[in-house]
Amino acid sequence: MISALTPEMVTRTSDSGKSIEVRKASMQDIPPLLELINGYAAKGIMLPRTEFELSENMRDFSVAYDGNKLAGCGALHFYSPTVGEVRSLAVSESHKTHGIGRLIVEALVHEAKLYGLDAVFAFTYVPGFFSKVGFNEVERGELPLKAWKDCVRCPKFSSCDEIAVLRVLRPGRWQHRPVPQPVLGIEDGSVVILPTIAPALRH
């Protein structure tokens, strides 16, 4: 079992039969995480991350290792006492067909359950993958306001094309209801919130 509070390591078998170690990330994982995430960022698939940003959010991350090689990563970011986001999900090119993504999402969902979350969501270009691990497509208005500090530097800030997906963990407590989403504007180089309704933006 993966603990949400300690970097306890578990060994799981991937779809290809490999023994993969999955654990909470540590500061020593920052260099390979930067290489993996920014490699995808260079292709426009993910947002780039800095060493400072990873250090600041390291407690969100879980990693999967194939021996001493980083096979993949993902993060669970909390938005409220009841809901969190699966984000920064990435699998190395050499492990794309090994089921690493599934192992990481399972670990993050387990962590969400340990913290008592009612649901977890994600924004993705591959809804088919998330469907296989228990997520359903939803309207963006059903999800909480996204983090503007990430959205404002996204190259697709004004034309987000990611799909919102949700996995309910506690059906008796989760209520699907639209959440008012203010529009994010830029004024004199500063981020401002405008009093109107808009869909949540990507991270």
pLDDT digits (tens, 9 = 90+) for 114-172: 999 999 999 888 899 999 999 999 887 677 655 444 555 555 555 567 788 999 999 88
Q: Residue range 1-7: average pLDDT?
A: 43
pLDDT, averaged across the chain: 79
CATH topology of domain 10-194: Aminopeptidase (3.40.630)
State whether residue 46 is helix, strand or coil. coil
Residue 137: alpha-carbon gap to chain centroid = 15
Q: Please determine, for residue 193, whether its predicted confidence score (pLDDT) is greater than 50.
A: no
Q: Residue range 59-73: average pLDDT?
A: 96
**pLDDT value at residue 4:** 43
The C-alpha atoms of residue 8 and residue 157 are separated, in whole angstroms, by 37
The C-alpha atoms of residue 57 and residue 72 are separated, in whole angstroms, by 17
- Judged on CB neighbours under 10 Å (0-12, 13-18, 19+), 144 is middle
Cα separations in angstroms, 179 against 26, 30, 193, 199? 35, 35, 15, 9
Q: Which of 10-19, 73-82, 178-187, 189-198 has the lowest mean pLDDT?
A: 189-198
The encoded tokens of residue 196 equal: 């109107």
The C-alpha atoms of residue 159 and residue 17 are separated, in whole angstroms, by 40
Quote the pTM value: 0.77
**pLDDT value at residue 27:** 97
Other beta carbons within 10 angstroms of residue 51's beta carbon come to 11
More confident residue, 173 or 60: 60
